[in-house]
A and B are shown apart, each in its own frame.
Chain A
Amino acid sequence: MKKIILAFIFGMISFISHANNVQISNLVKNGVNISFDLTWENSWHVGETYHDAVWIFIKQAPNGSPSWQHVNISSATVDSGYETKVPSDQVGFFVKRSSIGNGTATTSVTVVASGLIGVFQDVKVMGIEMVYVPQGNFYAGDGASAGRIARGDDLLEPVFITSNAELTCGATSSDFQYLTGTCTNIPSAYPSGYDAFYSMKYAITQGQYVDFLNCLGRNQQENRILSEVTGSTVTNYYVLTESIGIVKGNVVRCDENVGFGQITFYCDRNINGIPNEADDGQNRACNYLRVTDWMAYLDWCGLRPYSFLEMEKAARGPLLPVQDEKSWGSTLYNSPGTVQNAGTESEIWSNSYVDGGISTYSQAVIRVGANAPSAGASRELSNATYYGIIDLGNNPGDWYIGRNHVTTFTAMEGDGTLNSAGDANVTSWPVLDPTLAHPIKIALSSYGISAIGLANIGASTNTGGRGVRSNF
């Protein structure tokens, strides 16, 4: 790898690795106190029902060790006009507006960390933009999609979910059924979508996944990528697609010579060996994630997987279903044009802001939010859900916990720590075999957000994901 050594302003206290909508700057650590400035664009707060937020979590490297460990949060404070939500598990915290407003949000943040290890600690602070999905009734199933959930007495009608009570299989109007497959009662502990939760606004990006990989130990890294990297040299150095070049827009790679220590991963769209240049695709949605990679990332950052019912709630909100609707609330479906400003933070399709409903199904991925204009936005143009979550089930697709795990999966959140193999290890999460098929939402022309049963094996250009959190 050719290393870039950038001359930097010496008085600068922190090093900003990305420049994007969510920005964390002026990071200072003094003992257990960590402070920084936080800003993000296009924020909104219209009462508690409709708002966005940023999920903040912190990692530490005790004594400068290459091993990064999770940092819990004792408290967090922000400027007037903003508020924090530190959940009971203290794995991270939310920052949000505290009063009505929209536009660019800016606040200083001061955190008291707990569980710091070693004489000194290097720290990484990460922020993910989230969208609030409020508690409330919603319809699941659209009366048309393949494999959909439906009201017990009528496959053409949606299930109206009005509480966290157990959902029972049956043939009456108070029961539910599936169009196909075996029906199992859905216990009250399964995240039915009735309760409020926060969802990641965008899919996990390639830059995000690189940052994740670079915090793992070598053995964990080896299990979170497709390529064989157990030796000191790597043949297929584009490690998520197991190739020597760019496949379907995935730009995550390492050097060919990696030694036996921790590997440094980076984005390199232009294949010049220089990491993370401005046009290297860090902002692209991350495809080629196996279901286990997705779950590991979510555990590591203190979030959890979507349930299939939460995905419908997040997409549709309280509205009545539209048959075969995508997450943007209609059946509008367009193919992407050509990529403009490739790999940059302004990467878009040639028909972004024009056509709406642009699906990347089977296509290369693009920058997350590439279709959302800065003005004149609409759900269809921006590929947005009712609450403003972008490209749910699209660019690439979204893994979720399907109906086969309704009796065991609960809203238990990730704790920020993986097992030694780099796998998620949250008790109630299913232990999945990535070589088998698992359900995923993909905006196919014939598959709406209510379609269940569409599955994927391993990794592909359609496999990606995002997380939620309901403890806040």
Chain B
Amino acid sequence: MDKYLNSVLFSFMFFITANTLAQPNYIYEGGNGGGYTLDNSISVNIYFYKGGNGDGFSAIKESAVNAYFYKGGNADGFSSIKSSIVNAYLYEGGNADGFSSIKNTGVNTYLYAGGTHAGYTKAEENYDQVTFYEGDIGQGYDLAEKYEDFIWTGAVGTGWAVDNNWNYSIVPDINRRAIIPDGVPNFPNVNAGIFAIGDNPNNGQFECKSLWIQENAEVITRVNNFIENYGLIRIDGMMTVKNPASNALQNSSSGLIRIRPTGSLTIKP
């Protein structure tokens, strides 16, 4: 029996590694009492190594569905090996025969599970596979943007629209946060026209996405300048509006002017 069993195991190992079943017809064919009786290589319901009772295994069956390989009898080392498309069982054994079942399925895979008195009891892949399939709100994608701040340098004068008064030598557009810091040689004066912040629906000549006047810094808008704020003006320093008109500073419903404790907003011609 050992010889036959070895032959069977070798053949099965070959199947596992190569997954090929190109055996010639009638290999290993045996007679009654010889460990196996028939190798019938046909395309459907192939029986390889069909054995009789008490000879180590009783049947080997291969078909597209519910294939059985090396099906054995009780107490002969294993009782059946089943390879099928659904819920495949490999090396399924009986009680007290070394192992009870090895199941290869998609969920809760048990590898080398053993039965009672089999030398080990159970080894389970110990992870929470369910986590893979959990979801929540939203999606698996995000985008963050960082637009460079434009910082006033005042290097060549007070003109807002002069390139070289800004850190990148580019005058801010409506997408830029403008920052007026302390310690520069000149502070900006915004001349006649519209100074648009946050949005520029009226095609103002001066614009930025937001304006931050830092502590001890100053911005002066001249007598013919009109401010339209749709975004945010934060004043930690000083802002002086010299246009006496009632609409010199228009703050839209989306606009916010925040005057911090160190800041001041003066509207004085």
A201 touching B106, Cβ below 8 Å:
no
Cα A162 to Cα B255 with chains together (Å): 64
Taking the closest CB of chain A, its distance from the CB of B261, in whole angstroms, is 15
B169 touching A119, Cβ below 8 Å:
yes
B146 touching A123, Cβ below 8 Å:
yes
A122 touching B141, Cβ below 8 Å:
no
What 0/1 pattern do residues 151 to 178 of B give for CB contact below 8 A with A? 0000000000000000011100101100
A22 CB contact (under 8 Å) in B104, B107, B141, B169: B141
Given A319-B106, A377-B133, verify A7-B140 contact (CB < 8 Å): no
A50 touching B132, Cβ below 8 Å:
yes
B136 touching A374, Cβ below 8 Å:
yes
Given A36-B144, A124-B143, verify A382-B85 contact (CB < 8 Å): no
A368 touching B132, Cβ below 8 Å:
no
Scan residues 155-202 of chain A and give those whose CB is less than 8 A from a CB of chain B: 156-157, 160, 162, 172-174, 200-202
Highest count of chain A CB atoms <10 Å: which of B128, B139, B176, B256:
B139
With a cutoff of 8 Å between Cβ atoms, the chain B residues found around residue A17 in the complex are 142-145
Taking the closest CB of chain B, its distance from the CB of A62, in whole angstroms, is 11
Cα A166 to Cα B149 with chains together (Å): 55
What 0/1 pattern do residues 188 to 203 of B give for CB contact below 8 A with A? 0000000000110000
Interface size class of A (residues with CB under 8 A): 35 or more
Cα A370 to Cα B140 with chains together (Å): 12
With a cutoff of 8 Å between Cβ atoms, the chain B residues found around residue A143 in the complex are 64, 85
What 0/1 pattern do residues 101 to 138 of B give for CB contact below 8 A with A? 00011110000000000000000000111111111111
B234 interface residue per 8 A CB criterion = yes
A463 interface residue per 8 A CB criterion = no
Cα A50 to Cα B252 with chains together (Å): 53
Taking the closest CB of chain A, its distance from the CB of B48, in whole angstroms, is 14
Taking the closest CB of chain A, its distance from the CB of B73, in whole angstroms, is 26
Which of B14-22, B53-61, B239-247 binds A?
Answer: B14-22
Write the chain B residue with the least CB distance to A156. Answer: B64
B168 touching A122, Cβ below 8 Å:
no
B140 CB contact (under 8 Å) in A40, A374, A378, A379: A40
Write the chain B residue with the least CB distance to A26. Answer: B144
With a cutoff of 8 Å between Cβ atoms, the chain A residues found around residue B142 in the complex are 16-18, 20, 22-24, 126-127
Write the chain B residue with the least CB distance to A3. Answer: B199
With a cutoff of 8 Å between Cβ atoms, the chain B residues found around residue A7 in the complex are 231-232, 254-256
Given A102-B128, A122-B145, verify A382-B139 contact (CB < 8 Å): no
A373 touching B135, Cβ below 8 Å:
yes
Cα A283 to Cα B139 with chains together (Å): 6
A323 touching B141, Cβ below 8 Å:
no
With a cutoff of 8 Å between Cβ atoms, the chain A residues found around residue B2 in the complex are none
Cα A44 to Cα B135 with chains together (Å): 12
Interface size class of B (residues with CB under 8 A): 35 or more
B69 interface residue per 8 A CB criterion = no
Write the chain B residue with the least CB distance to A205. Answer: B139
What 0/1 pattern do residues 360 to 394 of A give for CB contact below 8 A with B? 00000001111111111111011010111010000
A321 touching B144, Cβ below 8 Å:
no
A256 interface residue per 8 A CB criterion = no
B212 interface residue per 8 A CB criterion = yes
B140 touching A322, Cβ below 8 Å:
no
A432 interface residue per 8 A CB criterion = no
With a cutoff of 8 Å between Cβ atoms, the chain B residues found around residue A126 in the complex are 141-143
Given A5-B255, A10-B232, A16-B144, verify A320-B104 contact (CB < 8 Å): yes
Cα A144 to Cα B139 with chains together (Å): 34
A378 touching B147, Cβ below 8 Å:
no
Cα A282 to Cα B18 with chains together (Å): 48
With a cutoff of 8 Å between Cβ atoms, the chain B residues found around residue A202 in the complex are 139-141
A436 interface residue per 8 A CB criterion = no
B143 touching A125, Cβ below 8 Å:
yes
Write the chain B residue with the least CB distance to A347. Answer: B137
A388 touching B144, Cβ below 8 Å:
no
B19 touching A387, Cβ below 8 Å:
no
A64 touching B173, Cβ below 8 Å:
yes
Given A5-B199, A46-B127, A119-B169, verify A369-B135 contact (CB < 8 Å): yes
Taking the closest CB of chain A, its distance from the CB of B136, in whole angstroms, is 5
Taking the closest CB of chain B, its distance from the CB of A312, in whole angstroms, is 14
Cα A373 to Cα B143 with chains together (Å): 24
With a cutoff of 8 Å between Cβ atoms, the chain B residues found around residue A10 in the complex are 210, 212, 232, 234, 258
Write the chain A residue with the least CB distance to B19. Answer: A160
Cα A42 to Cα B132 with chains together (Å): 8
Cα A5 to Cα B137 with chains together (Å): 26
Cα A143 to Cα B135 with chains together (Å): 32
Cα A132 to Cα B141 with chains together (Å): 16
A29 interface residue per 8 A CB criterion = yes
A50 touching B127, Cβ below 8 Å:
yes
B231 CB contact (under 8 Å) in A5, A16, A122, A372: A5
Cα A445 to Cα B128 with chains together (Å): 30
B231 touching A27, Cβ below 8 Å:
no
A323 touching B148, Cβ below 8 Å:
no
With a cutoff of 8 Å between Cβ atoms, the chain B residues found around residue A160 in the complex are 19
With a cutoff of 8 Å between Cβ atoms, the chain A residues found around residue B127 in the complex are 46, 50
Taking the closest CB of chain A, its distance from the CB of B11, in whole angstroms, is 14
Scan residues 202-216 of chain A and give those whose CB is less than 8 A from a CB of chain B: 202, 205, 207-208, 211
Cα A34 to Cα B88 with chains together (Å): 51
With a cutoff of 8 Å between Cβ atoms, the chain A residues found around residue B85 in the complex are 142-143, 320-323
A299 interface residue per 8 A CB criterion = no
A14 CB contact (under 8 Å) in B131, B136, B138, B145: B145
**Contacts beyond the supplied A5-B231, A10-B210, A17-B144: 6 A-B pairs with Cβ under 8 Å:** A14-B145, A42-B136, A131-B132, A157-B64, A173-B22, A381-B133
The 3 closest A-B pairs by CB, nearest first: A372-B135, A20-B138, A129-B140
Binding site for A on B (CB under 8 A): 18-22, 43, 64, 83-86, 88, 104-107, 127-148, 168-170, 173, 175-176, 198-199, 210, 212, 230-232, 234, 252, 254-256, 258
A-B contact pairs, 18 of them (CB 8 A): A7-B254, A10-B232, A15-B147, A16-B144, A20-B138, A20-B139, A25-B144, A27-B144, A27-B145, A34-B146, A129-B140, A154-B64, A208-B141, A283-B138, A373-B134, A373-B135, A377-B133, A388-B131
